[in-house]
Amino acid sequence: MSKPIFVARPSLPPLEEYVPFLEEIWETRVLSNGGQFHTQLETELASYLGVEHLSLFASGTAALLLALRALGVDGEVITTPYSFAATANALVWNGLTPTFIDIDRKTLNLDARAIEAAITDRTTAILGVHSYGNPCDVASIEKIASRNNLKVIYDAAHAFSVEDSGGSVLRHGDMAVISTHATKVFNTFEGGIVVCKSEAQKEELDRLKNFGFEDPMTINTPGLNGKMSEVSAALGLVQLRHVSRYIEERKAIHDRYKSELSGIKGLQFYEYKADIRPNFSYFPVFITKESRTEPKRVLEKMAERNIHCRRYFYPLISNFPYYLNQREPASSSTPNAISASDTVLCLPIYSDMTEEDLNHICSTLKAALG
């Protein structure tokens, strides 16, 4: 049997590039709590991403939890069921009620036309997800939010360094949250980033990730331990030197998939918006009705050949038992989300995929589709 191919394979720069950073950490014994590499990574990331204010976190989930807390969101939050569980979990952990609405058929992001019908007198915010790094309809969402006095948070877990015609997509909303988990385009093994709008917001995020301490004697809002360690920050500094090349390499894999798999009956591509610069974080395809094989069976057939794709995002969050049991009075029917979730398959994509592996994936997929 060939070696396993997973949906993601973390990008790792040469080991020797990390050594000076680790030696420095061993020398200074500063391991966490806002050390020099933490500070340096915040500065370098702000410049790389083209944003002014950001704060680093121990995970994307911790970042999302504390962004919601920092913005003082309460009551109900309009969001998408087509995402990773962390999106809605972060709402529940803040005592908020997710109101699930449908997604746009093409982008698979919140359908802005469905938002206003879901607003109640308890709604205080919109939590959109830039699925696969493809930005939400940010202009419509901004208009609706300002008409209805709602906060906007973007779960930009997949959107590291994605740009639209005006610059970084992370500038949209009151805050945007990135994941730097091992499987992401830019990784710090585990980690997250909140991009925010002001120094005051950053200071609030910094307090919240450090238990809520304003000084050793003062906590006004209880926080978490959500801090990124010095080792993760150092890993990030080394990754940052290489990440532009990783994205280029991912683009090459993306383009090869498109040329190898175009025109196949039963297979449909996911398209990025035309005016963005994507990061090629995922390669989702949809197994349509014309395929002779059910999506679940395609996944199994690929796994039989040691290719481990993932159904991001199946099941819908709203179909997890916990969420099925909650009352979400304003949630609406979500036919587009159901259809995408039932048919999606994310093919492996990572910066150092070999030609041999890519050919193996494509020929297995073609055979699996019948």
Q: Long-range contacts made by residues 113-116, C-beta under 8 angstroms, separation at least 24?
A: 113/140, 114/332, 115/78, 115/141, 115/144, 116/144, 116/148
- Write down the least CB distance from residue 143 to ligand T4K, Å: 24
**Number of residues near ligand T4K (by CB under 6 A):** 23
Q: Are 158 and 184 in contact (CB under 8 A)?
A: yes
Name the residue with tokens 């009705």.
289
Q: Are 340 and 82 in contact (CB under 8 A)?
A: yes
Dihedral pair phi/psi, residue 167, rounded to 5°: 125, -150
Nearer to ligand T4K, 171 or 181 (CB): 181
Closest CB to ligand T4K: residue number: 60
- Write down the least CB distance from residue 106 to ligand T4K, Å: 18
- DSSP secondary structure string for all residues of 125-139: EEEEE-GGGPPP-HH
Which of these segments, 82-90, 142-150, 262-270, 271-279, binds ligand T4K (CB under 6 A)?
Answer: 82-90
> Which of 86, 138, 150, 162 touches ligand T4K by CB under 6 A?
86
301 to 77, 307, 366: CA distances (angstroms): 39, 9, 11
Sites for ligand T4K among residues 305-324 (CB under 6 A): 308, 310, 312
Which of these segments, 2-10, 48-56, 220-228, 353-361, binds ligand T4K (CB under 6 A)?
Answer: 2-10
> Which of 98, 128, 192, 278 touches ligand T4K by CB under 6 A?
192
Q: Are 330 and 118 in contact (CB under 8 A)?
A: yes
197 to 47, 308, 325: CA distances (angstroms): 15, 39, 36
Burial class of residue 14 in the structure, from the number of CB atoms within 10 Å of its CB (0-12 exposed, 13-18 middle, 19+ buried): exposed
Measured CA to CA, the distance from residue 66 to residue 55 in angstroms comes to 11
The CA dihedral of 275, 276, 281, 285, to the nearest 10 degrees, is -10
> Which of 183, 210, 319, 332 touches ligand T4K by CB under 6 A?
183
- Write down the least CB distance from residue 114 to ligand T4K, Å: 19
Closest C-alpha among 348, 365, 359, 355 to residue 302: 365
Nearer to ligand T4K, 56 or 291 (CB): 56
264 to 107, 164, 197, 285, 291: CA distances (angstroms): 21, 30, 45, 11, 9
For the chain, the C-alpha Rg in angstroms (whole number) is: 21
- Write down the least CB distance from residue 183 to ligand T4K, Å: 5
Name the residue with tokens 């939400």.
136
Residues 5-44, one symbol each (x = binds ligand T4K by CB under 6 A, - = not), give: -xxxxx----------------------------------
Nearer to ligand T4K, 9 or 277 (CB): 9
Give the count of beta carbons closer than 10 Å to the beta carbon of residue 112: 20
Nearer to ligand T4K, 122 or 273 (CB): 273
Nearer to ligand T4K, 59 or 341 (CB): 59
> Which of 35, 54, 60, 128 touches ligand T4K by CB under 6 A?
60
Sites for ligand T4K among residues 123-182 (CB under 6 A): 129, 155, 157, 179, 181-182
Q: Are 132 and 125 in contact (CB under 8 A)?
A: no
- Write down the least CB distance from residue 263 to ligand T4K, Å: 29
- Write down the least CB distance from residue 64 to ligand T4K, Å: 6
Measured CA to CA, the distance from residue 232 to residue 161 in angstroms comes to 19
Nearer to ligand T4K, 115 or 153 (CB): 153
- Write down the least CB distance from residue 171 to ligand T4K, Å: 19
- Write down the least CB distance from residue 124 to ligand T4K, Å: 20
Nearer to ligand T4K, 158 or 266 (CB): 158
> Which of 55, 61, 134, 161 touches ligand T4K by CB under 6 A?
61
Residues that bind ligand T4K (CB under 6 A): 6-10, 59-61, 83-84, 86-87, 129, 155, 157, 179, 181-183, 192, 308, 310, 312
